[in-house]
Amino acid sequence: MPRLDHPILTFLNPEGVDRPLHSPVSAEVLERARRYRLARLRERLVAHDCVGALLYDPINIRYALDAPNMQVWTLHHAVRYALILTDGPAMLFELAGTEHLSTGLTAIDQIRPAVAWMSVVAGSHQPERIRVWADEIDSLLREYGGGNRRLAVDKIDILGFKALEQRGIDAIDGQPLALAARAIKSGDEIELMRWSVRVCEAGLARMWQASLPGKTEQEIWAELQYENTRSGGEWLETRLLTAGLRTNPWYRECSDYACQEGEIIAVDTDMIGPYGYCADLSRSWTCGHTPFNAVQKGLYSAALEQLSYNVALLRPGLSFLEFIDKSWRIPTHYQERRYGIALHGAGLCDEWPVVPDHPSVATAYDGVFEENMTVCVESLIGAEGTECIKLETQVLITHQGAVRLDSFPWEEV
């Protein structure tokens, strides 16, 4: 059993493990973050000469209006959307019967009933509903667009795209535009993200505490879900926790496998926490909290070296390709089981950019790291026949370099 005074357990709620964490973030911070995000999106619309943005992606709707509603379900059921006019109102088209959920949100100028025309809900009425939907969008663009017909759309089925096109609307890909807006965080956003990270670390402490022989991977993973939900978080994007040789190759999700003493337990949180902000951290430790054996020490030391080296490179003005060129060189015997991604953006989910490691440079695109971007730096180290060590830290890029947002300790090796 872990010591009751172990430093990792200080990440639990100091008021007691039977209590959820309660956010200290003020309503004023949240309100300023909302205003900033909507203004950022409109800045991108102006830069791309767009009359507005039609948003179906619930993450983009959350960013623009802070109006969540059945986020996971609406990721695959297009029953609600938002229309953000560049020089007009910000409108939420809400699923019938749920309009009250967004009443009082100051970023929203109008709440209208959504026209759900996807085939699963419209059936034989789909052509009629598409016509009603497209006519309404067309009418609003004519009213507020001043003749501009260029509309940014993040995701839409082909029938919807054709209906807009038939009305002379120039629908462009709005997802890169939205991702560019989301990439630069305000100080208020960082405060919200820090709280999500704090809740995630409490969940990690619960998982660490529960990592005892005989516990299944699913039982241990459930501790993160429990802490996130009871402390105001939202969902987990994956279920990446495995033990022993199930850590290699990576990407297996948790199962009913019972963990054995001394095995590596590796976890990647992929957590959407309070306020909808992502806390994407990875840690590895041993079942039963036993000392690492010699092989485990070597793997862990290499993973931590890669992570620390790559974090130290980050600064505003560094290009993605420069980063790859200067990044830690993965030893040949670890390359087959490497992660492939050196880092990725983080905000309301895993976001742009995605920067590969040096062996995958052929898949890379270029760009520049900027101040107030938040990114997750990753490492996965393993070889044929070994366990894998997974580590990841979430950082803010400042004018002085990268500052870690998480502080959950690394294991001693």
What integer pLDDT is reported at residue 120 of this predicted model? 87
For 89-130, the pLDDT digits (tens) are: 999 999 999 999 999 999 999 999 999 998 888 899 999 999
For 237-294, the pLDDT digits (tens) are: 999 999 999 999 999 999 999 999 999 999 999 999 999 999 999 999 999 999 999 9
- Amino acid at the residue 175: Q
For 37-78, the pLDDT digits (tens) are: 999 999 999 999 999 999 999 999 999 999 999 999 999 999
User: Which residue ranges form the domains of the chain, and what is each CATH number?
Assistant: 48-183 (3.40.350.10), 184-404 (3.90.230.10)
- Summarize the confidence of residues 26-37 as an average pLDDT: 98
d(Cα 408, Cα 206) in Å, to the nearest integer?
A: 12
In terms of Cβ atoms closer than 10 Å to its own Cβ (0-12, 13-18, 19+), residue 130 is buried
For 253-267, the pLDDT digits (tens) are: 999 999 999 999 999
Per-residue confidence at 3, pLDDT binned at 50, 70, 90?
low
d(Cα 313, Cα 328) in Å, to the nearest integer?
A: 10
Provide the 3-class DSSP secondary structure of residue 212.
Answer: coil
Is the CA virtual torsion 206, 208, 209, 213 positive or negative? positive
d(Cα 244, Cα 396) in Å, to the nearest integer?
A: 32
For 335-392, the pLDDT digits (tens) are: 999 999 999 999 999 999 999 999 999 999 999 999 999 999 999 999 999 999 999 9
Cβ atoms 214, 259 nearer than 8 A? yes
Peptide bond between residue 249 and the one before it cis (omega within 30 degrees of 0): yes
For 322-336, the pLDDT digits (tens) are: 999 999 999 999 999
pTM of the model: 0.96
For 209-248, the pLDDT digits (tens) are: 999 999 999 999 999 999 999 999 999 999 999 999 999 9
Joined tokens for residue 189: 């956003």
Q: Across the strands, what pairs with 368?
A: 319
In terms of Cβ atoms closer than 10 Å to its own Cβ (0-12, 13-18, 19+), residue 68 is middle
d(Cα 81, Cα 282) in Å, to the nearest integer?
A: 33
